[in-house]
């Protein structure tokens, strides 16, 4: 990983080279950091000049980069006088780990049909979920609760659709016997 041969405004080029070396797709990288493949692609092509500090740390973590502070300073994502490890950044990995653990615990308690629905949504409709997440964040920034209502209504409709599909399959099996 020779990031120093890149100029400070070439984070995207360096990112693409590192991602390809590791055999990670833009979709996989985007999903694991909570962004879209399009976001990663826009970083790599320079359409987005540099990620936020939080996004950059997640990218570096996902790719297993150990020299985070040096990389962040080289690409001017954080100032060279900022001590990345003593001054806590806005995002903290431990908080995210706790949230992931809580989420996994919650998922384990769900009925199998709901887990299947979440699986279907996640693997078949990631772009839609990302858009809903962005709507929710936008609404939260503006102090609006309406996007949350939209998301709830969407999830309710998807759950109802799934339940109706399951019921239809059961009826087909019953009438086929």
Round to whole Å and give the CA distance between 23 and 20: 5
Q: Is 19 exposed, middle or buried (0-12, 13-18, 19+ CB in 10 A)?
A: buried
Q: Are 3 and 75 in contact (CB under 8 A)?
A: yes
Confidence (pLDDT) at 16? 92
Q: CA-to-CA distance for 124 and 141, rounded, in angstroms?
A: 28
Maximum average pLDDT range among 72-81, 92-101, 128-137, 167-176: 167-176
- CA-to-CA dists, residue 134 to 25, 131, 172, angstroms: 22, 5, 39
Q: What is the DSSP string of 15-68?
A: HHHHHHHHT--HHHHHHHTTS-HHHHHHHHHTSS----HHHHHHHHHHTT-S-H
Whole-number Å distance between alpha carbons of 106 and 109:
5
pLDDT at 85: 47
pLDDT tier for residue 111 given thresholds of 50, 70 and 90: confident
The residue assigned the tokens 């209502």 is 149
Q: Report the pLDDT value the prediction gives residue 90, as an integer from 0 to 100.
A: 47
If you average pLDDT over residues 69-85, what whole number do you get? Answer: 75
Nearest CA to 36 among 146, 139, 132? Answer: 132
Q: Show the CA angle centred on residue 97, arms to residues 93 and 25, nearest 5°.
A: 80
pTM of the model: 0.47
At 86 the pLDDT is 45
């Amino acid at each position: 990983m020779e990031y120093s041969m890149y100029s400070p405004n070439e984070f995207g080029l360096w990112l693409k080279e590192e991602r390809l070396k590791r055999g990670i797709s833009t979709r996989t990288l985007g999903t694991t950091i909570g962004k879209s493949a399009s976001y990663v692609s826009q970083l790599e092509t320079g359409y987005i000049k540099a990620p936020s500090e939080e996004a950059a740390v997640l990218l570096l973590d996902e790719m297993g980069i150990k020299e985070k502070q040096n990389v962040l300073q080289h690409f001017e994502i954080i100032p060279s006088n900022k001590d990345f490890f003593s001054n806590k950044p806005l995002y903290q990995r431990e908080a995210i780990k706790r949230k992931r653990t809580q989420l996994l615990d919650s998922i384990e308690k769900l009925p199998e049909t709901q887990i299947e629905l979440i699986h279907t949504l996640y693997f078949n409709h990631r772009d839609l979920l990302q858009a809903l997440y962005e709507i929710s964040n936008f609404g939260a920034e503006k102090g609006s609760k309406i996007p949350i209502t939209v998301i709830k209504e969407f999830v309710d409709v998807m759950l109802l659709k799934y339940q109706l599909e399951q019921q239809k399959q059961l009826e087909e099996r019953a009438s086929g016997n």
